[in-house]
Structure 1
Amino acid sequence: MTFKENARLDTSQVRSGGGGGRRSGGGGGMAAGGGIGGIILLVLYLIFGGNLGGGGGGAGGGGAAGADSWNFNAAEVGAEGEGVSDDFSHCQTGADANENRDCLVVGTVNSVQAFWTSAWSEYQPAQTVIFSGTVQTGCGAANSQVGPFYCPLDEQVYIDVSFFDQLEQMGADGGSLSQMYVIGHEYGHHVQNLNGVLGRAQQDPQGPESGAVRIELQADCYAGVWVAHADGTRLGQEDQAILEPVTQKQIDSALTAAEAVGDDRIQEQMQGRVTPENWTHGSSEQRQKWFMTGYESGDPNACNTFTGDLG
C-alpha cells in the first residue's frame, strides 16, 4: 500500500534492538513466527522447548528438519541488538514510509494498531522492535536468521528489515504490501495472545490440521482484515488517513508473499519434497485463501480457523 505523503507517523510504537523484559500473563513461552525463518524458529521452539537460542532445550541438537538449512546457530546468537539506530527521527511522514523500510515498518505498525484499537475494545498496543544481527527478547536471544516473530512473554514483535530481501529471494515480488502483510500477520499473533488462543499452537505443533497451522492461518486472516480497513486508519485525533486505498495490484503483491512462505513451497525448495506431517504454517494455497478471507470479509469473526476444513 502507499502512505499518504503528509500523514504523520508515531515513532513511539517502535524501538530498536535491545532486550525485552517479561510481562505477567500472556500465552506461554512460545515464539510465534510469521516469516520464512520464523517457521523453523517455531518448530525449534515447539519441539525442543527452552528459549529462542536453545539454551535450555537443546535446539542446537539438529532434530528439527531443515534447521541447518536456515543457518540457525545458537552459539552465534548474542545478547544485544546491533546496527540499528535508536533514532527514528527520519520517520516523520508517510513520504518517509514510502521511501525507507524502517519508516514503512513504523507506518504499518501505526495503521495496524489503529485498526485493532478501534475494532476491539480489549486491544492493548504492542511495540515492534527493529533490530539487526542479534536481539534479546522476553523469549530468549535470537538473531536475524530466524525471521520476524512475536514473543508473547514481552508482548512485542521483532523484525530485521533485511528479512524483506529474503522474502523476495523466496518468490515475493518486493511490493510494499508484500512486506506490510508480514507485520500485519505478527500483530495477528498479538491479538491471539490477548484473546487467549495463541497457546493452541503449543498443544498441537505439527501437521496439516494442527493447532500451529490453524494459529498461523488465523494470523494471515487477521492481516487481511486489517488491509480491508487500512485506508481508514488514523492516528490519535488526526483527521487524515494514513494510507491510500489499496489496489488490486497491491493485493496481488501480498499474495506473492503468502505464497512464498507456504510450508509446501518452502519444503519443496529446501528438501525437494512436501511432507505435510511437518507443517507448522500451512500451504501456500491455504495462506493465500485465509488472507483473502480476511480481506474480502473485513470481519475478524470470519477468521475462525479452529473448526472445519482449512481449505
Structure 2
Amino acid sequence: MRLGGRESRNVEDRRGSRMGGRGMAIGGGFGGIAILLIALLFGIDPNELLQGTQPPPQQAQQRQMTAEDEAGRRFVAQVLGETEEVWRDEFARRGARYEEPTLVLFSGATQSGCGFAQAQVGPFYCPRDRRIYIDLDFMADLQRRLRAGGDFAAAYIIAHEVGHHVQNLMGVLGRVEQARRSQGEAAGNAMSVRVELQADCLAGVWARRAHEARNILERGDIEEGINAAAAVGDDRLQRAGHGHVAPESFTHGTSAQRVGWFRRGLESGRMEACDTFADPR
C-alpha cells in the first residue's frame, strides 16, 4: 500500500499500560479450538461475547514501547485517516455528517463499552461507545495462522470494522438488533451474516474510493484482501476446527460470500451495491 498521507487523530493507544491476570472464559463445549475459532472471525459481535462479563483480577504492567510499536500505530493511524477521508466525503454527498470512530490499540486485555475484552476476541467494533478495538500483536498472529499476510490484508480488517461503524451511523445495527430479539437462533444467525457481508462490501467501497482519490493500492494488494476475506469464511474455519460444516450456525458467511461481497464493493465503489438485506441469496 502507498500510505503517506495524514494520520488520524482518533487513535487511542493503551498499550503502555497492560492489564494482567486471569483470562476471560470464551465459549464452552467447543473444545480447545473454541477460542481460536472465535478469534479468527474478524469483526466478531462483541455483544454476544462481552455483555455482562467482568474484568478478572489484574495487575498494572508497564510495557516499554518499541520502534515496531510506533510503526504499527502509524500504519493504523494512516489507514484510519484514509477511511475518514472516504466516509466523510460519502456522508457529505448524502447531506449528512460523518462522525469519526475512535480506534483503541491495546495489549492483552482492555475495558470497552461492550464489556471486558481480551485479545482472543479478535478485532471488534463496539456500537455502544463507537470504538474499534485491536490488539496488533494478536492480529498479526492471526494473519500468520491464516496465511493472510500483507499490509492490505491488515487494512481490510480495519476497514471492515470501520464498515460496522458506518452501519451503526446509518441505523443498520440498531434495526438488526431489534429484529433479532423476535427471531430464533437460525434466523438471527442469518441476519448476522448479512451484517458481516455488508461490512465486507463497505471495506471494498473504501478501497476503491481511496485508490481513485489517492492511488493507495499497489500490485498484489487486492489479492491480499481477497485472500484475507476467504480465510475468515465460516465454512473454512469450521472445516479446519471441526472437520465438518454447519451452515445453520454461520454468523459471518462463507469464504465465497465474503470474497464476493468484498469484490462487489471494490468493483462498484458504491454503497448502494452493498445492500445485503435486499439480496435473496
- TM-score class normalised by the smaller sequence: 0.7 to 0.9
Equivalent of 1:147, from 110, 119, 122?
A: 122
Counting only pairs closer than 5 Å after superposition, residues 133-282 of structure 1 correspond to structure 2 as 133-162=108-137, 163-172=139-148, 174-202=149-177, 203=180, 206=186, 210-232=190-212, 241=214, 244-282=215-253
Using the alignment, how far apart are the partners of 2:150 and 2:217 within structure 1? 12
Using the alignment, how far apart are the partners of 1:78 and 1:115 within structure 2? 40
CA gap 1:159/1:43 in 2 versus in 1, 3 angstroms = closer
Residue equivalent to 1:63: none
CA gap 1:40/1:293 in 2 versus in 1, 3 angstroms = closer
Using the alignment, how far apart are the partners of 1:286 and 1:182 within structure 2? 16
Q: Provide the aligned length of Structure 1 versus Structure 2.
A: 249
SS in 2 for 1:199: helix
TM-superposed deviation, 1:2: 2.2
8 Å CA contact retained: 1:81, 1:132: no
- Could you state the TM-score of these two structures normalised by the residue count of structure 2? 0.78
Using the alignment, how far apart are the partners of 1:246 and 1:283 within structure 2? 26
Counting only pairs closer than 5 Å after superposition, residues 88-103 of structure 1 correspond to structure 2 as 100-103=71-74
Residue equivalent to 2:7: 9
CA gap 1:82/1:283 in 2 versus in 1, 3 angstroms = farther
CA gap 1:136/1:14 in 2 versus in 1, 3 angstroms = same
Q: String of CA shifts for 1:109-137, please: whole Å, max 9, x gaps.
A: 00001110011133211110011111101
TM-superposed deviation, 1:102: 2.2
TM-superposed deviation, 1:199: 3.3
Give the letter aligned to residue 301 of structure 1: E
TM-superposed deviation, 1:151: 0.4
Using the alignment, how far apart are the partners of 2:46 and 2:104 within structure 1? 22
Equivalent of 1:291, from 251, 258, 262?
A: 262
Higher helix fraction: Structure 1 or Structure 2?
A: 2
Using the alignment, how far apart are the partners of 1:78 and 1:113 within structure 2? 35
Give the letter aligned to residue 141 of structure 2: D
- Range with bigger deviation, 197-206 or 123-132: 197-206
Structure 2 portions without partners, runs of 5+: 16-36
CA gap 1:53/1:306 in 2 versus in 1, 3 angstroms = closer
Residue equivalent to 1:117: 88
TM-superposed deviation, 1:208: 9.8
TM-superposed deviation, 1:245: 3.8
- Could you state the TM-score of these two structures normalised by the residue count of structure 1? 0.71
Give the letter aligned to residue 165 of structure 1: D
Give the letter aligned to residue 211 of structure 2: D
8 Å CA contact retained: 1:41, 1:52: no
Q: String of CA shifts for 1:257-303, please: whole Å, max 9, x gaps.
A: 10111111110111111111100000011000000000000001110
Structure 1 portions without partners, runs of 5+: 19-34, 56-73, 92-99, 234-240
CA gap 1:221/1:275 in 2 versus in 1, 3 angstroms = same
SS in 2 for 1:251: helix
TM-superposed deviation, 1:17: 2.5
8 Å CA contact retained: 2:46, 2:114: no
CA gap 1:13/1:279 in 2 versus in 1, 3 angstroms = same
